[in-house]
Amino acid sequence: MSTSFFEGVLSSAALSGTSILYATVGEVIGERSGIVNLGLEGVMLVGAVIGFVVTAETGNPYVGVLAAALAGATFNMIFAYLVVTRRGNQLASGLALMFFALGLTAIIGKSYVGKPIGGLKDTPIPGLANLPQIGHALFEKDLLVYSVIPVAIAAWLLLYRTSWGLRMRAVGEDKTVAFAAGLKPHRLQYQALFVAGLLGGIGGGHLSIAYTKTWQEGMTAGAGFIAVGLVIFAAWSPIRAILGAVLFGGAVAVQLQLQARGSNVSPFLLDMIPYVVVLVVLMLFGRVKGRVVPAGLKNVFEGTG
């Protein structure tokens, strides 16, 4: 069955958009509590390697996904300790976390490089999967793809319709005021970073368990950084993050399809596309201004944090 260019793009956009969206939604939650985590790149790597290893060892990809989530969350607690308890510089701590993950995952994954796994199977949705053009591309995917948009919506509900979300956002706006109002800022930030770690871990896990079904050293290749960028584009809303993920997924997909179809353009120039697209989009729409920015973040972005 030959697929059209459109179908190919849609299908691979769904896959690459999924993993980035889990990570972006997680980062939105963390940033809403007032913390920017560049270590997300590392969290995703840890999720990818642990998810892969557990899937390979147990043969059950769902256990693998669960392990990826927990590993991401646990790993993110190192970051939480550094920035919340020790008040270390957020951006530098995030990068340190990424370094740590690069080394750690290289050791953990060493004997799994090139090993094949069954991975997460596609579960076609009856009826929808038979739709022309979009059916195969969108409705014959793994369960993580289907659940990512509901997760983004759930995150929005969590942030805006629960008292936990309200308290957490209050901390993100002004820690001191939140504390004076009787909240426990540190505990809330730890919780937010735990949830962010769960989602970042799933994002990484999706890469290795469902998308590539392999483990490679440093396989996230900057996806975590892109997710942090997309949070700005999403104006700190999990719902708008969907748009960001579609955009990034689309850019990756177009590039992959062009390569697969033997385009004359050098593959390395095509490889640049997603990064350049994100850069340009951030330049155009990412202006850090107005009320959308959690006030507690301004210090971080403006270099006084």
Partner 1 sequence: MSSVVTLSKPFYSRFSRHRDTLLAAGAPIVIALVGFAIVLEAYGKSPIATYRDVLQGTFGSVRGFTEVLVIMIPLMFCALAVAIPARIGMLNVGAEGQLYIGAIFAAYVPLNWPGLRLQFMLPLMTLAGFLGGGLWAGLSGYLRAKGLLSEVLSTLLLNSVAGFGLQYLVFGVWHDPNSSNFPQSKPYPEAAVLPHIGSGRLHIGFMLALAGVALFWFVLQKTRWGYEMRAIGGNPEAARRSGIPISWYIVLLFVIGGGIAGIGGMAETSAIQGRLRPGFSSSYGYIGFLISWMSAHNPVLIVVMSFLLAVITSGRDVLQITQNLPGAAVNILMALILFVVLARRGRKPEET
Q: Check binding of 115 to partner 1 (CB under 8 A).
A: no
Tell me which stretch binds partner 1 (CB under 8 A): 179-187, 193-201, 226-234, 244-252: 226-234
Q: Which of 17, 119, 204, 229 binds partner 1 (CB under 8 A)?
A: 229
d(CA 149, CA 14) in angstroms, rounded, equals: 11
The distance of Cα 265 from the centroid of its chain, to the nearest Å, equals 29
b/e for 170-179, b at 16 or more Cβ within 10 A?
bbbbbbeebe
Among 114, 126, 132, 289, binds partner 1 (CB under 8 A): 289
Judged by CB under 8 A, the number of residues near partner 1 is 52
Please state at what angle helix 143-161 crosses helix 185-205, rounded to 10 degrees: 170
Concatenating the DSSP letter of every residue in 243-255 gives HHHHHHHHHHHHH
At a CB cut-off of 8 Å and minimum separation 6, what does 242 contact? 21, 149, 152
When asked if residue 266 is in the footprint of partner 1 (CB under 8 A), the reply is yes
User: Closest CB to partner 1 among 124 and 267?
Assistant: 267
Kindly tell me which residue out of 82, 151, 192, 247 binds partner 1, with binding defined by CB under 8 A: 82
Interface with partner 1, residue 130, by CB under 8 A: no
Q: How far is the CB of 145 from partner 1 (least distance, A)?
A: 25
Residue placing its CB nearer to partner 1 in the complex, 111 or 133: 111
**Residue 107 touches partner 1, criterion: CB under 8 A:** yes
Applying CB under 8 A, does 177 fall inside the site for partner 1? no
Among the listed residues 63, 66, 77, 95, the single contact to partner 1 using CB under 8 A: 95
Cβ 162 to partner 1 shortest distance, Å? 29
Separation CA 170–CA 183 (nearest Å): 9
Using CB under 8 A as the binding rule, whether residue 187 contacts partner 1 is answered as: no
Distance CA 169, CA 21 (A): 21
Interface region with partner 1, contact rule CB under 8 A, candidates 130-138, 148-156, 157-165, 283-291: 283-291
Give the interface segment with partner 1, choosing from 122-130, 148-156, 177-185, 218-226 (CB under 8 A). 218-226
**Rule CB under 8 A: is residue 222 a binding residue for partner 1?**
yes
Q: By CB under 8 A, is residue 279 in contact with partner 1?
A: yes
Amino acid at 185: P
Residues 6 or more apart whose CB falls under 8 angstroms from that of 39 comprise: 76, 79, 93, 94, 95, 96, 97, 98, 101, 224
Quote the distance between the C-alpha of residue 95 and its chain's center.
16
CA distances from 232 to 69, 102, 293 (A): 24, 25, 8
One residue of 181, 217, 260, 263 binding partner 1 per CB under 8 A: 217
Contact between 128 and partner 1 by CB under 8 A: the answer reads no
Q: Maximum Cα–Cα distance for the chain, whole Å? A: 64
User: What span, in angstroms and rounded, lies between the C-alpha atoms of 303 and 90?
Assistant: 10
Q: For binding to partner 1 (CB under 8 A), which residues are involved?
A: 38, 78, 81-83, 86-89, 91-93, 95-100, 102-104, 106-107, 110, 217-218, 221-222, 225-226, 228-229, 232, 266, 268-269, 271-272, 275-276, 278-279, 282-283, 286-289, 301-304
